[in-house]
Amino acid sequence: MKKLIVLVVLIMCATVVFAQTNAVSLDVYPAIVGIDQSGNGLLRVNVGAGFEHAMSRNLSIGADLDFYLSSWTNYSQVFFGLIGKGRYYPASQALEGFFLGAGTGVGFSKVTNVDSKLNLIIEIEAGYKIMFSSLFVEPSIAYSYGRMWGSWKPGLRAGFCF
């Protein structure tokens, strides 16, 4: 019985060791989010860094660190967020192809002349990771509640797997 238990533990450990794949990604893009009545635009600069780890053939976990800086005609806004997330890759191996994901975390926002605020972030997303050897590009769309406000968030990340 002890040999069977040891064998099962070794197989489980080998599966975890050989199935581990990690990805690091970065997105940086300016976005004109709106235009006021006098033609001035709301410029928002988004910077995000992410880490993702394949837990099994179709599942991954990870974290995102986000920074947004917005500037409007008469105010500015800053946001920092840390989000833990999980992804499901239904048709392919984890960290490749189409995925569905969800995450939750906390964010800190500060608007000119308004008290700073700590937010709960809840997010759902869908996207596609396009691999080029160990490099990838990842277009996605997410609905995020708690990052300054509830909103749709398009994304385009680039990174590498190791």
pTM (2 decimals)?
A: 0.76
Q: Where are the domains of the chain?
A: 24-161
In this predicted structure, what is the pLDDT of residue 154? 80
Average pLDDT over residues 4-33: 60
Checking if the pLDDT of 58 tops 80, the result is yes
Return the amino acid letter for 156: L
More confident residue, 156 or 61: 61
- Identify the CATH number of the domain defined by range 24-161: 2.40.160.20
Cα-based distances in Å from 45 to 48, 77, 80, 149: 10, 11, 12, 16
Residue type, 122: I
Residues in the chain: 162
